[in-house]
Structure 1
Amino acid sequence: MQEITAQHFVERLARGAAQARDAGLDALLIAPGPDLAYFADYLPPVTERLTMLVIPSDGAPTTMVVPVLEHDSAAATRAAGSIRLVTWADGEDEHAPLVDQLWSGGRYGISDSAWAMHLLALQHALPDVRFEAFSAVLPMLRAVKDADEIDRLAAAGAAADATFEDILSVSFAGRAESEVAADLDRLLREHGHSHVDFTIVGSGPNGANPHHEAGNRIIEPGDMVVLDFGGLMDGYGSDTTRTVHVGEPTDEEHEVFEVVKRAQQAAFDAVAVGVPLQEIDRAARAVIAEAGYGKHFVHRVGHGIGTTTHEPPYLVEGEEQSVVAGMCFSLEPGIYLPGRFGVRIEDIVVATADGAQRLNNSSRELHIVS
């Protein structure tokens, strides 16, 4: 896995310009957030002050408008040699330098993360300009990963796998969910994560809430426990879910687990270049519905991952975008029986020319913990 260098950002900016051109846009307007980090290697402080990267589609120089007090930080990034900085000072019209980069009658894609106050100011200054959200015109802007990005995602996935293997040896029964969540956080960091986004520990009836926050419930013998955890390592995300059981499961619990396991495999088998993303969701959902648990699968089957743990593409009914080699996304079907228990199994996979490759390879069996 090679270091990300200035040349990587040169290539990313060129790809961004090409994607803008293909979408019929005059430029991309990129506000602080994951897109700015990806294209400009820059994450400024989250404030009301305007920062905006402008990537023209016609090959003109890329410009970033920044507050003057943040100039030195913006100039110190690996992408700085490819980006012209334009500054504004407190007390000045912060939007004027950005308006100068645009032109009447243009069509611009703008980050979903842009503040409404800045977009409205641009619309007021340029009433005949058309602004469109990235999610509408370029939803797959960062969806297809290059070989280096896939290597980084694979390394993050391997670290999450190692975390799961280690968590199997800790005590569950008699401890609070929050204590096990703290173990997951610690282990992710020990295995190389710089940031932990989430550590879901849903025991017993709490496992029936897909986004349960680990709390003070004491885990008991006989509990099914959903473990969903991930974060960032070397700038790229991990996200995996495994379900374990404290002591021997009942026949029903074992049956539900096996249905989810088959559904996850069905989703994996459905991944192929050219297949609409919604078909992968349908493949998993069909297995669960046939087993009689259809109404208990209450979320999409997957989401993209990259420099953030949730990003396009989304594998959900109605998404007709087709699979492209290099897309990386989760496959995470689940069954949630309210007031009783839940089961979810999640892997990150990368679409390849001949199917899919898992980036999580820890055991998908139902593990018994103590």
Structure 2
Amino acid sequence: MTMRLTEPFYRRKIAACQARLAERDLAGVLVFKPANIYYLSGFFHYPTERTIALWVPTSGEPALFVPKLEEDHAAEGWLRQIEVYFEHLGPPHPLDWLAERLRGWGLGRAQLGYESSLAEGSLRRLQTALPDASWTPDGGKIIADLRLVKDAEELALLRAAAHYADAMVEAGVEAVCERGLLSELEINQIANQAVVQRMMAELDNVVFVSGMTGGLVCAGPRAAHPHGLPGLARPRPGDALILSFGCAVGGYHAESERTFFIGEPGPEHRRYYEAVQSAQATGTAALRAGATCSEVDWLCLHVLREAGYGAFIRHRMGHGLGLEGHEPPWIEDGDATVLQAGMVVSSEPG
């Protein structure tokens, strides 16, 4: 099956962005963040030091700015206006060149949007090159707000990614059950290879940027490390084993994470497991439209605190999922975002 978004989807997103730009009296937004370029144009690329940017005007067709190295790749997509420079530092410098393009389009005195993630030095360079233009991060906020709520096509990709992430967990369990106490790296490699082969057989026109799958496997005392990297350690009888895997379908990421025990868990392991399981169930049940992220996080982690494990909490309840493995909204104390139907988040307290 084909699991990749098409031109009508991206044109719809461009139109939604343009409507909000018009509401804020912006001439357009200059987009540098790779995930935002993916979202608005579908131009998936391998980010390097070379400048790649997307210009979305309030009206009219968007324009993609790429180095010569990406010209042929960019031409494979639906965007028709592709502006090409030669190499990373020029001359001219790509940002100076880009600013001259904007000036040539009559935007030298316009109000221009940018993303707050744009490096301060890059913003200063653009401001110097276009001294009569005004710049506002409102443009980036428009894109961030659009990305919060997924539509039907995006949800389909996320469900498919979750399906394959679950399959990775199953492959990891199967490897241990059939081959014995393999090393963390071996379990990780087996699960990744098994599901990549399956995805290659079942999917058409895949999106490959940083990889289709990935994972963390930790055993024994290292199972308490939320983001521990897999190594040569082998689980022993009585150990906890963490299988934490992620997959991307059509560029959209989902995770599947489970805790297992080698043999029968002891009483202490059972208490920890049951407390986290209860916290996760409480937090997941609280994920309802109208609740705030901070409220849901508090309800979830309060279960662990009430169980006497407050001193051992290492992280929030969860985070958003989409074109990035970690993206807003953040299910944590500091995020007052109001949850809406169509938002996709993880539930993984600990």
User: TM-score normalized by structure 1?
Assistant: 0.80
Following superposition, the deviation at residue 184 of structure 1 comes to 2.0
Following superposition, the deviation at residue 327 of structure 1 comes to 0.7
User: TM-score normalized by structure 2?
Assistant: 0.85
The match for 2:159 is: 154
Following superposition, the deviation at residue 73 of structure 1 comes to 2.2
The match for 1:182 is: 189
Residue identity opposite 1:108 in structure 2: G
Q: Residues 140 and 313 of structure 1 are in contact (CA less than 8 Å); yes or no, is this contact kept in structure 2?
A: no
The match for 2:227 is: 211
In terms of mean alpha carbon deviation, does 208-217 or 195-204 score higher? 195-204
Q: Percent identity, please.
A: 29
1:167 matched to 2:172? The reply is: yes
Residue identity opposite 2:122 in structure 1: H
Following superposition, the deviation at residue 220 of structure 1 comes to 0.6
**1:205-250 residue CA offsets vs partner (Å, 9 max, x unmatched):** 1011111000111211010111111121232212111000001011
The match for 2:203 is: none
SS at match of 2:157: helix
Residues 109 and 311 (structure 1 numbering): CA distance in 2 closer, same or farther, change over 3 Å? Answer: same
The match for 1:140 is: 145
The match for 2:60 is: 60
Quote the Cα distance in structure 2 between the aligned partners of 1:43 and 1:258.
41
Quote the Cα distance in structure 1 between the aligned partners of 2:6 and 2:79.
11
Quote the Cα distance in structure 2 between the aligned partners of 1:144 and 1:288.
29
The match for 1:122 is: 126
Q: Residues 174 and 219 of structure 1 are in contact (CA less than 8 Å); yes or no, is this contact kept in structure 2?
A: yes
Residues 174 and 62 (structure 1 numbering): CA distance in 2 closer, same or farther, change over 3 Å? Answer: closer
What does residue range 88-127 of structure 1 map to in structure 2 within 5 Å?
A: 88-89=85-86, 90-99=90-99, 100-101=101-102, 102-104=107-109, 106-110=111-115, 112=117, 114=118, 116-127=120-131
Residues 200 and 45 (structure 1 numbering): CA distance in 2 closer, same or farther, change over 3 Å? Answer: closer
Q: Residues 302 and 314 of structure 1 are in contact (CA less than 8 Å); yes or no, is this contact kept in structure 2?
A: yes
The match for 2:295 is: 279
The match for 2:251 is: 235
Runs (4+) of structure 1 exceeding 6 A deviation are none
Q: Residues 31 and 111 of structure 1 are in contact (CA less than 8 Å); yes or no, is this contact kept in structure 2?
A: no
The CA RMSD over aligned residues, in Å, is 2.5
In terms of mean alpha carbon deviation, does 120-129 or 248-257 score higher? 120-129
Question: Which structure has greater helix proportion?
Answer: 2
Q: Residues 53 and 62 of structure 1 are in contact (CA less than 8 Å); yes or no, is this contact kept in structure 2?
A: yes
1:15 matched to 2:16? The reply is: yes
Residues 284 and 224 (structure 1 numbering): CA distance in 2 closer, same or farther, change over 3 Å? Answer: same
The match for 1:49 is: 50
Quote the Cα distance in structure 1 between the aligned partners of 2:91 and 2:140.
33
Q: Residues 9 and 40 of structure 1 are in contact (CA less than 8 Å); yes or no, is this contact kept in structure 2?
A: yes
Question: Which structure has greater strand proportion?
Answer: 1
The match for 2:82 is: 85
Residue identity opposite 1:54 in structure 2: W
SS at match of 2:148: coil
Following superposition, the deviation at residue 97 of structure 1 comes to 4.7
Residues 196 and 10 (structure 1 numbering): CA distance in 2 closer, same or farther, change over 3 Å? Answer: closer
**1:138-167 residue CA offsets vs partner (Å, 9 max, x unmatched):** 543312111111111111111222232333
* Structure 1 residue runs without a partner (length 5+): 335-370
What does residue range 326-345 of structure 1 map to in structure 2 within 5 Å?
A: 326-334=342-350
Following superposition, the deviation at residue 287 of structure 1 comes to 0.7
Residues 182 and 16 (structure 1 numbering): CA distance in 2 closer, same or farther, change over 3 Å? Answer: same
Residues 325 and 317 (structure 1 numbering): CA distance in 2 closer, same or farther, change over 3 Å? Answer: same
The match for 2:31 is: 30
Following superposition, the deviation at residue 269 of structure 1 comes to 0.9
Q: Residues 278 and 320 of structure 1 are in contact (CA less than 8 Å); yes or no, is this contact kept in structure 2?
A: yes
Aligned residues: 329
Residues 50 and 311 (structure 1 numbering): CA distance in 2 closer, same or farther, change over 3 Å? Answer: same
